[in-house]
Amino acid sequence: MTYFEEIYELATAIMESEEIRQAPLYKKYLFLYRFLQFSISEFNTRCYRDLTTIRPFDYKSYQIIGDGLEKEFQVSSPFSFDTKVYIEKETENHIFVPMSSDNYTIDNMKNCIVFKTAPKDGEKINIYVYEIGYFYDDLEYEEKSILANGMLIAFYQNQLNKSTLLNQQVYGVGAKMYSQAEHIKRLGDLLKMVRYEWTAAINAYTYTKSPDLVLDKSRRQKEIKNDYK
């Protein structure tokens, strides 16, 4: 088993994104999972490990409104060992801010959140219950690294698309502001370089592996699916 977090640690170490760094945890993992899905789809046919049998990222959101009395709130998502919770509460300025985990506990038996102090009457609280996900197969470091760099391609492509769209919305389809055009060009050049290096890494990976691993991969896929039925 290989947790997605192991790949995410490698990816975020080289991914410069304030949006991802500052995002609430559940949203950060949602962003990263989308990039990982691209990487899996591109690498899967060349990888000798099973990248398709996974526990995908999943989350559910709940909003509760306090009454000043109730401390315990049940959620429909069953809690497991891998379940994580992110809670935010509304301030007087109608802005949601993270709530410290010291202010609540999780009752795994009842599937509920128990607050230390009952939320005030009319106070809005958002609860996000999520699982980050994992591969059922055990990946080697080289495979994790290739997946992480594949995520980087998806990230740069996303940045390029957003920058191009912004340029068209602000300046028109035919217009080009120098600084924005240069930024888009740099992103495009960077994307080409990263994609070239990524393809080379995949070629090196497949060249050094034994062809017998293709048969081994097929066998492991069947075993994993039987084990987790």
| Crossing angle for the helix pair 141-171 and 25-43, to the nearest 10 degrees | 110
Q: Cβ-count burial of 139 within 10 angstroms (0-12 exposed, 13-18 middle, 19+ buried)? A: buried
Tell me the per-residue pLDDT of 192-224, one tens digit each, with 9 for 90 and over: 888 999 999 998 888 776 656 555 655 555 555
What separation in angstroms does the CA of 179 have from each of 173, 185, 188? 16, 10, 14
What the block records as the tokens of 80 is 């497991």
Tell me the per-residue pLDDT of 97-113, one tens digit each, with 9 for 90 and over: 999 999 999 988 888 99
Measured in whole angstroms, the distance separating CA 92 from the mean position of its chain's CA atoms is 31
More confident residue, 67 or 19: 67
pTM score, two decimals? 0.78
What pLDDT is stored for residue 168 in this prediction? Answer: 39
What pLDDT is stored for residue 170 in this prediction? Answer: 40
What pLDDT is stored for residue 178 in this prediction? Answer: 45
Residue 152 CB coordination number (10 Å):
23
What pLDDT is stored for residue 177 in this prediction? Answer: 46
What the block records as the tokens of 42 is 């591109």
Q: Are 127 and 77 in contact (CB under 8 A)?
A: no
DSSP H or E run through 151: helix 141-171
What pLDDT is stored for residue 67 in this prediction? Answer: 94
What pLDDT is stored for residue 175 in this prediction? Answer: 44
With a cut of 60, say whether residue 84 has pLDDT above it. Answer: yes
With a cut of 60, say whether residue 225 has pLDDT above it. Answer: no
Q: Cβ-count burial of 112 within 10 angstroms (0-12 exposed, 13-18 middle, 19+ buried)? A: middle
Closest alpha carbon to 116 in 74, 70, 78, 83: 70
What the block records as the tokens of 154 is 């998806």
What are the domain boundaries of the chain?
2-56+134-227, 58-131
Tell me the per-residue pLDDT of 122-168, one tens digit each, with 9 for 90 and over: 999 999 999 999 999 999 999 999 999 999 999 988 887 765 534 43
What the block records as the tokens of 134 is 């994992």
Between 56-70, 75-89, 97-111, 167-181, the lowest mean confidence (pLDDT) is in 167-181
Tell me the per-residue pLDDT of 4-57, one tens digit each, with 9 for 90 and over: 999 999 999 888 788 888 888 899 999 999 999 999 999 998 898 889 899 999
Instruction: Compute the distance between CA of residue 140 and CA of residue 118 in angstroms, rounded to an integer.
Output: 47
Instruction: Compute the distance between CA of residue 38 and CA of residue 10 in angstroms, rounded to an integer.
Output: 16
Q: Are 124 and 138 in contact (CB under 8 A)?
A: no
What the block records as the tokens of 130 is 């999520």
92-98, long-range: CB < 8 A, 24+ apart: 96/124, 96/126, 98/24
Q: Are 133 and 56 in contact (CB under 8 A)?
A: yes
Instruction: Compute the distance between CA of residue 4 and CA of residue 120 in angstroms, rounded to an integer.
Output: 37
